[in-house]
Structure 1
């Protein structure tokens, strides 16, 4: 697989997926994986064959820093 783009079937990626320890047994979680080219892939654990979204490390860093700072707390309130 040369170029990995948004929408690729997540189960076709040559990666190891992982999820948060906060995930529940009902499958309500997002899984992430580091790509060989350095990007980060995300998928819905309930649909492992579904599309993956691909992000750069800078995009993921901006999101994680915002989440740590509470910018998205209203989404789960």
Structure 2
């Protein structure tokens, strides 16, 4: 990840944070992770091709995996 923000020691000194500051900090971390997860998409054709290369995964098992991953 090339655009990861850098943090310094002052940011994660939890003992020095009051309740509101800590609440905002945790919400911000959660929101950043949520936004990053929403921004990524899955290419199911590539996923299926990669899984098909694994020994022991047949067509029926592959269909079950793909079906579960789209739910």
Normalising by structure 1, we get a TM-score of 0.24
Greater per-residue helix proportion: 2
Greater per-residue strand proportion: 1
More contact order relative to length (CA 8 Å, sep ≥ 6): 1
